[in-house]
Amino acid sequence: MKKIVITMITLILFGSLLAACGSKGGSATNSSGEKLEKVDLKVFISQPRFKKQYETYLEQFVEKQKEEKGRDINIKLEMPNVNQADQLLKTRLASGDSPDIFSLHAGNDIPVYDKAGYLEDLSGEPFIEKLYETVTPGVTIDDRVLAVPLETLQWGYLYNKDMFAEYNLEIPTTMSEMKEVIKVLEENDVTPFIRAYKDSYIPQLFLPLVVGASSATTNPDFMDNMNEGKGSFAELKDLFPVMDLVHAHGTDRAFEIGQDQGASDFANGKAAMWVQGAWMAESIVAAKEDFNFGVAALPINDDPNSTLINLSTSTSLAVSKESKVKDVAKDFINYVMDDEDSSALYESLAFNPISDLHTFDLYPWLEDSNAYVEDGRIYQDPTIPSAVKSESEKLFQSYFADDATQEAVIKGLDRSWEQYLKINN
């Protein structure tokens, strides 16, 4: 019996020793030989067209954390397309399956997600001191910074510079001048506008363009009236004329063309202009590397003072209040504004500089839009409720398909704003 017991104890000790050695040999270490803490980090970014750029930056972050913090981080990157992202993220947040870091639209989403209690307060994080003062308010509510901004947008419409030069066209500053541009283009068998309505957010772009420019000039009380429940889109006289003008002079098969095909068609000269933002620059340049295009303000009436560039903060990164690895998530948020690597990230994304850290040369189209900013010919992107924007996507698609009248569109937009007020007041 003694021999049996001794043999069993020996086997147990020997097995434990082997297990310990095997565990030690399989552990990840950094360059100093330190054993690494394993961490899973879930990242949700709704910009799949920038997959390569984000993957590269996340890999750099993983290496930096390995050496500086002793962490072995496994990134679980999710990049849904723009049409699915909003609902998917809301479902995940509501179900308790929240990403640790997620992208959101600063103007549209931060107020809603903050009210729902989804956003970690990032006030006091080091990245804040590195931002331009004009950028920080876009991600701030009640003196709390709730995200790190990625995209600051300066947009109106895109135009083919070579075509404009070929036909001696000046950038129009009024609707009448735009009609003359259209006339010259069509006389030379050039289609004036790209129409790409398959992605519903594209027709919706007319909403912030017209609401913003009109509110800044001819209808200064519009936003206040709507938020007080006493306004109507019937007051916005400039909305349908510019929508109708663009729609009447655009490319064929509008509802079969989405943003990516639209970018390719624009780059390959199928139309001279596109009511779209410079956030499509990467796709446009990918379609034709040497394509020469610029950014201009879209005229909405015959008052040149109303022809302004939309200035806004859009895509930003937030940390979930429910994250179990907030320290790691915050490290990445700060790494977005890293002293050494941030400039390369923003340059690769073709985003505007938002910090003195960003020392790269501006792309030509960003130089165009910056000229409007420097001249003060801008308006701040209007804070239209996201529910109203979502409703406008369906309504504008229906309007362009001749399935909805102007009266039906106005009624639908008014109703969605009224419902928003009931829910949030």
Q: How far apart are CA 108 and CA 316, in angstroms?
A: 11
Q: Give the integer Cα–Cα distance in Å for 404 and 410.
A: 10
Q: Could you tell me the two tokens for 121? A: 């307060």
Burial bucket for residue 16 (CB in 10 Å: 0-12, 13-18, 19+):
exposed
Query: Dihedral sign, CA of 233, 234, 236, 238?
Result: positive
Query: 90 and 104 in contact (C-beta within 8 Å)?
Result: no
CA 150 to chain centre: 8
State residue 352's pLDDT score: 86
Cβ atoms of 228 and 381 closer than 8 Å? no
Alpha-carbon distance 291 to 235, whole Å? 40
C-alpha distances in angstroms, 57 versus 166, 167, 231, 341?
41, 43, 46, 8
pTM of the entire predicted model: 0.70
| Separation of CA 29 from chain center | 37
Cross-strand pairs, 104: 316
User: What is residue 423's predicted lDDT score, i.e. its pLDDT?
Assistant: 87
- Which residue type occupies 70? G
Classify 77 in phi/psi space as left (phi over 0), alpha (psi -120 to 50) or beta. beta
CA atoms within 13 A on the CB side of 296: 20
Please state whether 79 falls in left (phi above 0), alpha (psi between -120 and 50) or beta: beta
How many CB atoms are closer than 10 A to CB 343? 17
Give the residues across from 355 on adjacent strands. 131
Write out the chain's pLDDT in tens, 425 residues. 444 444 444 444 444 433 444 333 345 676 667 788 999 999 999 999 999 999 999 999 999 999 999 999 999 999 998 888 989 999 999 999 999 999 999 988 998 899 999 999 999 999 999 998 778 888 999 999 999 999 888 899 999 999 999 999 999 999 999 999 999 999 999 999 999 999 999 999 999 999 999 999 999 999 999 999 999 999 999 999 999 999 999 999 999 999 999 999 999 999 999 999 988 998 999 999 999 999 999 999 999 999 999 988 889 999 999 999 999 999 999 999 999 999 999 999 988 888 999 999 888 898 898 888 878 898 888 889 889 999 999 999 999 999 999 999 999 999 999 999 998 87
Query: Are residues 400 and 197 in contact, defined by beta-carbon separation less than 8 angstroms?
Result: yes
Sign of CA pseudo-dihedral 163, 169, 171, 174: negative
> What is the residue-wise DSSP string for 336-403?
TT-TTTHHHHHHHHTPPP-BTT--SPPPHHHHHHHHHHHTT-EEEPP---HHHHHHHHHHHHHHHTTS
Q: Give the helix/strand (H/E) hosting 310.
A: strand 309-313
